[in-house]
Amino acid sequence: MVDYERKFKIKEQITPRNLMMYKRAAKQFRKKSQLEKHQHMIKSIGHLHKKFIHEIQGIKHQQDIYYSSIGEYQSDITRDEVIEALLFLFGWSFRMGYMLIAWKK
């Protein structure tokens, strides 16, 4: 009986004015929560973008250092050394059976 009385009192309080106030408050709450969510997403994406750019620049810098160091060492290698190294590698892979059958003929 108590639950029925409470429900009846709540129904009595629902008037067009109260309903309109409730809808207005709910709409404001929804807008505010959506705005906060949007701002949080923008902030998170901005942080990830900065982090990504920083990492990419670090990788580019490392690649530049790597490629510049290759040039220094390549000047020491002669053509004969390259040919000897290739003969050694192809001979080793041929003995181990890694060469294609068409190449063995």
- Tell me the per-residue pLDDT of 3-22, one tens digit each, with 9 for 90 and over: 666 666 666 677 888 788 88
Share of the chain above pLDDT 90, in %: 8
Residues 6 or more apart whose CB falls under 8 angstroms from that of 99 comprise: 90, 93
Alpha helices in the chain (DSSP H): 2-13, 16-74, 79-96, 101-104
The residue that leads in pLDDT, 6 or 101, is 6
The whole-angstrom distance between residue 19's C-alpha and the CA centroid of its chain comes to 46
Q: How far apart are CA 90 and CA 84, in angstroms?
A: 10
Task: Quote the tokens at residue 14.
Answer: 């629902």
- Please give the average per-residue pLDDT across 31-58, as a whole number: 83
Choice between 79 and 105, residue whose per-residue pLDDT is larger: 79
Question: What is the tens place of the pLDDT at every residue in 84-100?
Answer: 887 787 776 555 555 55
